[in-house]
Amino acid sequence: MATSGGHAGRPNEDFVGAIPGAAVLLDGAGIPGTEQICSHGVAWYTHRLGGALLSRLSHADGSALAAILADAINEIADGHRSTCDIANVSSPQATVAVIRSEAGRLEYLMLADCFLVLDPISASPVVMTDDREVTARAVCGAPLAGVARGTAEYERVWEACLTALQARRNQPGGYWIAKDDPAVASYAVTGSCPLQELTGAALLSNGAARIVSAYDQTTWPGVLELLRHGGPDAVIRRVRQAEATSTDAADDATVAYCTELQGT
């Protein structure tokens, strides 16, 4: 596992952790003004939620991943419900990716835009993500096309687009993200595949996935090659190199690479 904060002087809002047979990765949503809504902040939320997930996974009681996520969300919500405005649309929230070996299968859960890359023994990588947030952003951001950045008109339209996106958050027809309502876990993308068909699996935060999706530095097979030969740090180094020549703001980047799956 490896993680790297994207902003000097700010906490890393990603989380990654593992126990024998399971791994968890969360990507916190760094929404401006969150600190005024919740005194704890996004990094606190992702770290607490990640820890709660690992604790429940360690029980190995066969609970469904969605049920485990729902319980963890509820625990963290209860921990700051009395001190923070957790129902506010911009209260701390995070994308979630979980994998677990169970009864000879690799089970997975994806909520919002983290990435899972499966490395089959004799086939091309299988890449999965929950793209509902990306779709919602594209739809809500469409009015910005052709509007000049830095103008008053751009700011006006951007505010309207942001309001439209917030209205779709954790709503039917929009997208789902871990926040204050445990019911969102039932909307996660879940599934499984036989462990015997895999040589490995990787979890990437959106910031780490930029190596393919934004910067076109390599392909998904190339990501797996980097992981095999250089580990998660190699992927993050390539992301930082690409950011150095990009106008995009740096982002937190996190990777978990799991191998020897058949022995778990």
The pTM for the full model equals 0.94
Question: Do 58 and 114 have their domain in common?
Answer: yes
Total structural domains within the chain? 2
E strand segments, the chain: 2-4, 14-19, 22-28, 94-102, 105-111, 115-120, 126-129, 189-194, 198-204, 253-259
**Does residue 170 sit in the same domain as residue 255?**
no
pLDDT of residue 263: 61
Measured CA to CA in angstroms, residue 116 lies from 28, 53, 90, 254 at distances of 17, 17, 26, 12
- Residues 144, 190: one domain? no
Cβ atoms of residues 37 and 83 within 8 Å: no
Give the domain-ending residue among 113, 140, 175: 175
Co-location of 27 and 77 in the same domain: yes
The answer to whether residues 15 and 42 belong to one domain is yes
d(CA 118, CA 128): 8
Confidence at residue 255, expressed as pLDDT on a 0 to 100 scale: 98
Residue 146 lies in domain? 132-175
**Are both 87 and 200 inside the same structural domain?**
yes
Same-domain pairing of 57 and 181: yes
The answer to whether 223 touches 176, Cβ cutoff 8 Å, is no
Same domain, 106 and 199: yes
Q: Specify the pLDDT at position 86.
A: 95
Q: Is residue 23 a contact partner of residue 17, using CB atoms and an 8 Å limit? A: yes
Same domain, yes or no: 233 and 248: yes
Q: Are 115 and 232 members of one domain?
A: yes
Among 122, 143, 175, give the residue marking a domain's end: 175
CATH number at residue 227: 3.60.40.10
* Strand partners of residue 2: 255
Q: Chunk the chain into consecutive blocks of 10 residues (it has 264) and report each block's average pLDDT, rounded to whole numbers.
A: 91 96 94 84 96 96 96 97 93 97 96 96 94 94 95 95 94 96 97 95 97 94 96 96 88 95 67
- 257 and 209 within one domain: yes
Q: Do 152 and 192 share a structural domain? A: no
